[in-house]
Structure 1
Amino acid sequence: MKITLDNPASAPQPLSPYYSQVARVEQADGSALLFLSGQIAEGDTLAEQSRGVFETIEALLKAHGATLADVVNIRTYLTDIGRLAEYGAVRREFLTGTPPTSMTFEVPRLFKEEAQIEVEVVAAVSAGSRPAA
């Protein structure tokens, strides 16, 4: 098993130098699991932040030869669980196939005070799917 930690240049860079955006875990059969750090985004509204989060996740996955269709697990942290439907509407714009396994939590605050949402995902990519050069 080979593990690669990465901050792809083609995606927004982490807010801190103390973590990596992606952990790629290569499996013996050539497939890989991608573990993405929690993502937040700029924006005034929950919808704007949610779109930014999914655009960043999409860029991170693409840098590793994956797409949103490869997401098998998603964890969402909201500062107001009462706004779950707003987030869900944006999420459905990006995750259009069979929904992945999911957990959603309400938290009092996130890494940046103005952040209303943070999302982390795990994706499974088939053999032959390689990181972008």
Structure 2
Amino acid sequence: MPQRDPVYPVGRQALYETNRYSAAIRSDDLLFVSGQVGSREDGTPEPDFQKQVQLAFDNLEAVLTAAGATLDDIVDVTTFHTDPEAQFGAVMAVKNTVFGEPPYPNWTAVGVTWLSGFDFEIKVIARIPKSA
């Protein structure tokens, strides 16, 4: 059985240790990334929704980078939304800049009632390149 190899983005490990989880777990050539939110450096939510979504993607990219992967290595995406209907346009605007060219990853969007003060969260599974 493969070992769990935790991955943390530079400068944010203390936030994960405080909440007792890993930013991501590497298992062989797969990377399972925990839900990333639009948190500022101190862990507080970005109040502007569009900026919160962009920051969540930025935080996701930092985790992928720490594991030697990129946004292009993502194969599966799950997003969580506190108000999907009202937020869809803003999320798609950011998503379309991040995943501009096919092939696109799988995507599942889930409406939720609570995200600990946040309004958007993204978790992914990525394949780590052999060179990483």
TM-score for both structures, normalised by structure 1:
0.83
Question: In the alignment, residue 27 of structure 2 is paired with which amino acid?
Answer: V
Q: Does 1:34 align with 2:31?
A: yes
Alpha-carbon offset, residue 88 of structure 1? 0.9
In structure 1, list runs of 5 or more residues that go unmatched. 27-31
Counterpart pick for 2:51 among 42, 45, 48 = 48
For structure 2, the 5+ residue unaligned runs are 39-44
Root-mean-square deviation (CA, aligned residues, Å) is: 1.5
Deviation at 1:2, TM superposition (A): 3.7
Indicate the SS of the match to 1:39: strand
Aligned-pair CA distance for 1:103: 0.3
- How many equivalent pairs are there? 121
1:1-133 equivalences under 5 Å are: 1-8=2-9, 10=10, 12-13=12-13, 14=15, 16-26=18-28, 32-41=29-38, 42-82=45-85, 83-98=87-102, 99-110=104-115, 112-113=116-117, 115-129=118-132
* Corresponding residue SS for 1:19: coil
Secondary structure, aligned partner of 2:69:
coil
The runs of 4+ residues in structure 1 deviating greater than 6 Å are none
Tell me which protein shows more helix as a share of its residues: 2
Give 2:109's aligned amino acid: T
